[in-house]
Copies of this chain bind each other. A is one copy, B any other.
Amino acid sequence: MATSIEHKMVYRLAEGSAGMVSLLGSKGAHASEMARIGIPVPPGFVITTEACLEYFKVGRRLPEGLWDTIVSNVHLLEEETGRKFGDSHNPLVVSVRSGSAVSMPGMMDTILNMGVTDLTVGGVTNMMNDERPAMDAYRRLVQGFGSVVLGIEKDKFETRLEMAKTSRGLTYDYELTPAALRELVTEFRNVIKDATGSDIADDPWVLLRQAVEAVFDSWNNPRAITYREFAGISHDLGTGCVIMAMVFGNLGSDSGTGVMFTRSPATGEKTLYGEFLTNAQGEDVVAGVRTPQRIRTLETEAPGLYKQIEEMARTLEAHYGDVQDIEFTVERGKLYILQTRTAKRTAPAAVRIAVDFVEEGVLSKEDALGRIPASDITQVLMPRFDGDAKALATQTALLAVGVGGSPGAASGVVVLDPDRAVERAEAGDSVILVRHETSPDDVHGIIKAQGVLTSRGGMTSHAAVVTRGLGKPCVVGCEELHVDMVARTATARGVTVAEGDLISIDGGTGEVFVGELATVEPNADDLHELNVLLSWADEVRKLQVWANADTPQDAQRAHQNGAEGIGLCRTEHMFFAADRLPHIQALLEVGPQASKVIRETDELAKALELAPASERESLIRRVKEAREKVESSKEVLAFHTELAELEKFQTADFYGILKAMEGKPVVVRLLDAPLHEFLPHYEDLIREEEQLFAAQRASNGSQASFGAVLPRPEQRDAQGFLLTPRDAQPHDAETAGERGESVPMSEAAVEHHRLLELVKALRETNPMLGHRGCRVGLTMPEIYEMQVRAIVTAACRLTEEGTKINPEIMIPIVSHVNELKWLRPRLRAVAKETRERLGVEVTYKFGTMIEVPRAALTAGEIAENTEFFSFGSNDLTQMTFGYSRDDAETKFLNHYVETEILPWNPFDSIDFTGVGRLMRIAVEEGRRVNPELPIGICGEHGGEPYSIAFCHEIGLNYVSASPYRVPVARLAAAQSALGHLKSNI
């Protein structure tokens, strides 16, 4: 391709810089940057990501001219090192590494020891003054080339390596003699010959070219594609290819290799944090094959080297203004930095580092606020194991102790392979993935697991890195744990847990327990840095952050986490408690009928007011009759009794919540749930009825049927919803007909049947679109009136007690302004009456959920009839997309997200285009009517950063999140205000 010649496809390290990440890849750019500022980097050059993309564009061929450029750059390297590529006496050995603009740890290919061949291995021996490492390098090259470049299963090499050791009674690779290694090389070459039909090439230039192609190809290998899809990385970046002279950490005890963070990636502590492995190549550390020593141990063992490493670390950290993740090698006492990059860290570490950087003067507060992905700080607030439970477990259930690889506490069933982990997790289980060590092939299992436990590897092992990125607990290097993949068990200290057994892991301490442990929230000490950071966030954010809380305990937690109000207090949850449910069930049994009778009497009385003389006489009589009927109705009596009971409970509930919030606004949402949710499951009742019937029949041993003997329903008005003849008869008749039997039913069966009929009457085909929220408020207004009385009563009591309160009452599922026009005056009157009766001055607002598309579309007229808006973005998303949240994810939505039909799950983050458009309409048109209209959001999106950014952009007053997401929301709101965070529009 002619165009490819126009681009510079290869950069020597000193030619590049940190700013060239997209062209050189992160690894290449940072190696260049280091070379530029005088850090000791092995000499080398970088092939650009553009060259990689061009490679794919022209059909997986090296672009024209590239190979020649590579060859001439290798020649420059020869000049620089004084060695010669393929020379039998003084050979140049190089590494060929992948590296894209965005870190994809372990996903792409790297080939080391390029240049070691049959011909040059003697020269390498000379260079190293030792035959063993030279032969080992050759062994590694053949193994790596075979598996990485030629795609031969790793096991074929590993098995032979293991056999080589066991047959000789050895434990470690480095115990293998040069002769044994040479035998292995021969075996490996045979493996390659068997698999590919030809021997590995002898010409190192041929191998080098294949290696470069393999690096490029690895950009599109399936696991890299999967990872990018999971991590949301573009497929259009390509990978750079870094070719560097090799330095050797395996030349004896004065050599070694290490990986380190300039501060602790777990806690943020300002201390070098990482591992060092003497007499080893870098891949030994990353793969976690041997457990390395802590880098801090070098401080005493090799203080000079340690000092050199620490100086280098601080220089790099200062240069980049962020914590670095550094790979280095010591070759016979000389330090080489192989790679540096911004370190991944746990959220607690990120918070501490950001705060420390501000205190050290490295960052401004504003920049520091931009450093932490807002969602990550939930990790700081993550539960840990309850102290007592853990103390006990430590005595009785401690299975093993490893290294804390990623903080947090998790319990789940032991699962030994990633596929099964996915399976169990999708079936609803909490899973702890237990492995010898993890590799990129395990990522799908790690994603689905609650936590990971490995018997090998350290802080920088694959498992630790990946889980920290995902914010999941991980214990690594738990060497005392014997994982038996055949028996499918894990054993330590004489205790064996089988796959499927429950264990608990503490990713902070590395402890592993048998069974499930109770967890607790972090304490104030843990939260110190976070609170500093959040106080800065509070200074800059424009959005208020409120919380959703249904209980005084939730309100308390919300308050502690900095919530400035309760944006959603759901009242239905209050009815589910064991002492309340019977009352709401009793209420539902009589309510519709009672409410109807009361309403009809009221309507009659109203008609009387308007009636002409000629009608008055008969109307007066009818009103009187209706009133007597109401007064003598046992439904009405029961209705009022249950309402009164529930009012007592509700008053206590609201008292507690209003009190906990100490004068901050508390938005109480009136009953929203579909009514059938308070009743037993229909299916269960049907099964029970059939079972009761069978039992009855068995005990009677004769002709039997339900229909024939069930009591006829009480005589009722046409709309009486209980046992209408029409509902009750056909099924029974049918059943009776089919069976041709008849039996007297027990009282229990009759009662059961009544309940079943009640459930049947309240069931709906699409409850989400059903008789709920203000629709119940209009058809059975007594419930909302009871709730308003309870709220105002609680408010009055607190006011009398001198506690400040600020209640707001919210009407859900409004779709038409007339619903408000009918309800609001009625509820205001109840509030006024209650306040006056109690003789206490309290203020309250009446507001409206905007959660039905039509409400958003008619927000102008709704704004004229309400005192605030609050977006119910869950329902708004359900109705705008036509997705039932209960089922959509497993039925099709997960598939949509996986296949990128949808860019993300709109229940996680607001769909800015569709749902967001409705929200914009509602804000614009609501504020046009009332420029001061307070508008918030109380759906689950209120705690999600991109959604918060969107809410900031469209000018909401507040977001309301679950209490534990309040800190996230505070940070995200600040980031939005500072422009660090933007919604995706």
Contact = CB atoms under 8 A, between A and B. Distances in A.
Contact of A683 (B218, B682, B725): B682
A880 interface: yes
Given A612-B218, A769-B878, A888-B769, A854 B911 contact: yes
Q: How many copies does the complex hold?
A: 2
Interface string A160-189: 000000000000000000000000000000
A726 interface: yes
Contacts of A690: 686-687, 690-691, 694
Given A148-B614, A775-B891, A818-B902, 5 more contacts: A214-B613, A768-B769, A779-B895, A816-B881, A816-B902
Contacts of A813: 882
A232 interface: no
Interface string A895-925: 1100111100000000101110110000000
Given A426-B719, A765-B884, A614 B221 contact: yes
A852 B882 contact: yes
A879 interface: yes
A747 interface: no
A334 interface: no
Contacts of A770: 884, 887-888, 891
Nearest to A918: B857
Contacts of A195: 617
A429 to B, nearest CB: 9
A611 interface: yes
A841 interface: no
A765 B918 CA distance: 25
B771 A887 contact: yes
Nearest to A823: B901
A886 interface: yes
Contacts of A519: none
A882 B879 contact: yes
B218 A614 contact: yes
A216 B879 CA distance: 49
Contact of A858 (B216, B612, B726, B914): B914
A891 B596 CA distance: 13
Contacts of A269: none
Given A884-B766, A902-B816, A618 B778 contact: no
Nearest to A691: B690
Contact of A151 (B419, B618, B901): B618
Contacts of A288: none
Contacts of A691: 690, 694
Contacts of A611: 217, 220-222
Contact of A887 (B764, B881, B900): B764
Interface string A816-846: 1011001000000000000000000000000
B151 A819 contact: no
A613 B918 contact: no
A879 B778 CA distance: 20
A697 B697 CA distance: 13
Contact of A880 (B725, B765, B854, B892): B854
Interface string A757-776: 00000001111111100011
Nearest to A822: B901
Contacts of A613: 149-151, 213-214, 217
Contacts of A491: none
A427 B766 contact: no
Given A854-B914, A901-B816, A615 B769 contact: no
A892 B778 CA distance: 8
Interface string A387-403: 00000000000000000
Contacts of A915: 854
A624 interface: no
Nearest to A913: B858
Given A614-B149, A816-B901, A879-B880, A887 B218 contact: no
Contacts of A854: 880-882, 911, 914-915
A549 B607 CA distance: 47
A765 B724 contact: no
Contacts of A213: 612-613
Contacts of A693: 694
A218 B616 CA distance: 12
Interface string A583-617: 00000000000000000000000010011111111
Contact of A884 (B423, B612, B769): B769
Interface string A662-699: 00000000000000000000110011001101100110
A544 to B, nearest CB: 28
Contacts of A647: none
A684 B119 CA distance: 80
A690 B697 CA distance: 13
A207 to B, nearest CB: 14
Contacts of A610: 220, 225
A316 B834 CA distance: 64
Contacts of A427: 718, 724-726
Given A614-B149, A690-B694, A778-B896, A764 B857 contact: no
A126 to B, nearest CB: 32
A521 interface: no
Contact of A895 (B216, B218, B778): B778
Nearest to A773: B882
Contacts of A819: 901
Contacts of A940: none
A668 to B, nearest CB: 21
A741 to B, nearest CB: 12
A409 interface: no
A60 interface: yes
A853 interface: yes
A299 to B, nearest CB: 42
A428 interface: yes
A130 interface: no
A229 to B, nearest CB: 12
A894 to B, nearest CB: 10
A153 B619 CA distance: 12
Interface in A863-889: 875, 878-884, 886-888
A724 to B, nearest CB: 7
Contacts of A221: 611-612, 614-615
Per CB-CB distance, the 10 closest pairs between chain A and chain B, nearest first, are: A217-B612, A151-B614, A690-B690, A694-B694, A423-B718, A766-B884, A769-B884, A854-B914, A765-B886, A771-B891
A110 interface: no
B426 A615 contact: no
A147 B618 CA distance: 12
A109 interface: yes
Interface string A611-646: 111111111000000000000000000000000000
A522 B911 CA distance: 52
B422 A718 contact: yes
A815 interface: yes
A864 B780 CA distance: 47
15 contacts: A150-B613, A151-B617, A213-B612, A694-B697, A766-B884, A769-B883, A778-B892, A779-B892, A779-B895, A819-B901, A851-B882, A853-B879, A853-B918, A854-B880, A857-B913
A196 to B, nearest CB: 8
Given A148-B614, A694-B694, A770-B891, A884 B217 contact: no
Contacts of A891: 764, 770-771, 775, 779
Interface in A206-257: 213-214, 216-218, 220-222, 225
A612 B212 CA distance: 12
A860 to B, nearest CB: 10
Contacts of A422: 718
Contacts of A216: 612
A150 B853 contact: no
A288 to B, nearest CB: 22
Interface in A116-150: 147-150
Nearest to A108: B612
A752 to B, nearest CB: 13
Nearest to A697: B694
Given A687-B686, A891-B764, A891-B775, A615 B718 contact: no
